[in-house]
Amino acid sequence: MQHSTIAAASQSSRGGDSAESSDIKPAKKRGSYNCGRCGLPKKGHNCNVKTPVSATPATTTPADSSLSVVSVPSSAVSVIRQPSTNLRRALSFEGLDDRASGLDLVAVDDKEDGDSFPEPDLEPDLEVLEVSDLDMDFDSCGLPSSLRWEVLRRLPPAGLLSAAKVCKGWRETARKLWRATEELKLRVPAKVHVGFVASMLQKCPGIVRLSLRLESDFDSTMLACIAFSCPNLESMEISIFNTATNRINGDELGRFVADKRNLKSLKMEGCSNLGGFVLCSSSLSTLWLSDLHSLSKMVFNCPQLREISLEFSCQENEGTDLITMIEGLGRICLKLQNIHIASMRLSHAAVLALTAAQLRGLRMLSLVLGSELTDASVAAIASSYPNLELLDLSGSGISDSGIGMICNVFPETLRRLLLALCPNVTSSGIQFATAQLPLLELMDCGMAICDPNFPDPTADENDCKSLKTSSANLQHINQKLIIKHSRLKKLSLWGCTGLDALYLNCPELIDLNLNSCRNLHSERLLLQCPTLQNVHASGCQDMLIEAIQSQVRNAFPAIDNHSPSKRLPDGSKRVRVPYLLSGESPEPEKKRRRIERIPCNVLVD
């Protein structure tokens, strides 16, 4: 079924976490309490740890820099369609395009720390740092200590570990850097012993934010290690890749959460072994769990919870009782502002449980994959929570009347509306929404107007089945959309194979997704969107792609793209890469032009 693709997307989003290291007093050295090999406490401990291993040199391989492709393989789900990522992104507080930062870190990398390291004089503990005082005292370490710090702090952790080998002075500087580290993002390759992680964590007792990208299993030993080594932990993110398994069970998780008094944010993937849990925390404010499967019990005793995201697996035997869980949420977590639940078992009863709760602060509601949800559910939501800023009912059975209800209730607050994979929505519904919701900034109508004769190629499943085969199908071909909206920034019409004409007049539109709009006619496309930066057109007809290119080019008459290369006054030659080949936005460097335009990319990959 279609939902698998949506579920996939939600794995990945990480808002751009800007790392900050700051003034953290170095933790008291524990000295002989810890086993030297694996870092766990010596007491009652039999260390059979061999010298731990890791295979990777730390070279950062940046993730795709273009926004269009995010490939985050997750064991349980099928191919991710890029547009689906909107679902998750839209939910996060971060700006809609903040994807790149989190996933770039393939290697152990706390480089971010260095970047925002505060001015030395805010750090009384580290007396070596007086960059303002021009310390040109070249001690035996080759560089004055202040300069040493500046260079070392810009090294990735692997480099820092090596730098410590240069001489004692460097080792000392490296040590101070570790101790000052507040955020650590680690990639843990397969077959690496927990000792590796343990040892890294031991170096940075001041860790506040920890992010582990695991390619080896995540088990209770590692969790205990984190619990032990990171007393100040406020945010933890565990992502699971390749064939790694998250073996944590509910009790272990519950204990961890209860013990970490400062934990504000917890994000964990691959939670298929939880079984059932009770989470008690007075500090937790953000919780993301994915790949949940058949939980016997889900209790959230977290009164400070602001944001919750629960993604359930799409396997047939997934049988978690959502209603009880939601009732519990509604009783205790009264400060919830953002809710995201992805489950095939979402039902009207579950929605009623939600609407019965008094979640006065609810602003973002995302209930996806619930094919049983209908306009009745929309009515319930609209009447209980009239101030929503984001509503995502992708994969549901909502129809144009549901959209009508949405437009009735939410015009003054709704900024993001996502209705991807809603088979009962037609182009009139979409058009109505764009006309009636003046604050709309993001609209996702992926696969909403699907020509039943053209099953979407990226789904290996039976897309046709999902469409109700009736005369309603006639509404799904030769559809036309005319959208004029003054604030819309992102519009996604991916997979709308029933669309054959599109007229867009959106002065603030930045991103347009037309992937797989196979039947969109090149002569029936009009884009009047001067701020457009990205148009995704993979799977479209060549003529359409050309039409798009010429339209966006014509929108920017100021940009000189006739000369493929230019000799500049200083003798160097700059060659402009044609749009079609460039996967990246050209630098917005043409400041000398009076009209500043960022050229638009047409992404076809």
Partner 1 sequence: MAQEASSSTSSKTISLKTGDGEIFEIEASAAKQMKTVQRLIDDLGDDITIPLHNVFSKELPKIIEYYKKDITGEITKDFEAEFVKDLNDDEVKVLFLAANYLDANKLFEFLSQNIADRLESKSVEYVRKYFGVENDFTPEEESKLREERAWSFRGIKEDE
Residue with tokens 């272990």: 252
Contact in structure between 97 and 292 (CB atoms under 8 Å):
no
Please report whether residue 167 would count as binding partner 1 according to CB under 8 A: yes
Using CB under 8 A as the binding rule, whether residue 410 contacts partner 1 is answered as no
Q: Which residues pair with 366 in a beta bridge?
A: 340, 392
Q: Report which DSSP code applies to 12.
A: T
Tell me the closest approach of the beta carbon of residue 230 to partner 1, in angstroms. Answer: 19
- 509 Rama sector, left if φ>0, alpha if ψ -120 to 50, beta otherwise: beta
Enumerate residues 105-164 that contact partner 1 by CB under 8 A.
134, 136, 140-143, 147, 150-152, 154-156, 158-159, 161-164
Question: According to the 3-state scheme, what is the secondary structure of 363-409?
Answer: CEEEEECCCCCCHHHHHHHHHHCCCCCEEECCCCCCCHHHHHHHHHH
Instruction: Say which residue the tokens 């393939």 belong to.
Output: 106
**One of 557, 572, 581, 595 touching partner 1 (CB under 8 A):** 572
Which is closer to partner 1, CB of 83 or CB of 157? Answer: 157
How far apart, in whole angstroms, are the C-alpha atoms of residue 53 and residue 127? Answer: 35
Q: Which is nearer to partner 1, 127 or 587 (CB)?
A: 587
218 binds partner 1 (CB under 8 A): no
Interface characters, 20-59, with partner 1 (x: CB under 8 A):
------------------------------xxxxxxxxx-
Count of positions on this chain that bind partner 1 (CB under 8 A): 42
Residue (6 or 163) nearer to partner 1, CB = 163
**For residue 215, which amino acid is it?**
E
Q: How far is the CB of 188 from partner 1 (least distance, A)?
A: 11
- Residue 289 and residue 380: Cα distance in Å, rounded? 26
| Cα–Cα distance, 376 to 382 (Å, whole number) | 10
Q: How many residues in the chain?
A: 605
Binding to partner 1 in span 168-187, by CB under 8 A: 168-171
Site for partner 1 in 223-242 (CB under 8 A): none
| Strand 565-567 with 573-575, pairing | antiparallel
What span, in angstroms and rounded, lies between the C-alpha atoms of 246 and 76?
A: 12
How far is residue 122's CA from residue 571's CA, in Å, rounded to a whole number? 46
> Residue written as tokens 């700051």?
22
Which residue, 168 or 468, has its beta carbon nearer to partner 1? 168
- 583 is a site residue for partner 1 (CB under 8 A): no
Cβ closest to partner 1, residue 155 vs residue 437: 155
Where in 58-77 is the site for partner 1 (CB under 8 A)? 58
- Least distance CB 193 / partner 1 (angstroms): 8
The answer to whether residue 376 forms part of the interface with partner 1 (CB under 8 A) is: no
Residue 591: CB minimum distance to partner 1, A: 6
Footprint of partner 1 on this chain (CB under 8 A)? 50-58, 134, 136, 140-143, 147, 150-152, 154-156, 158-159, 161-171, 195-196, 199, 572, 587, 589, 591
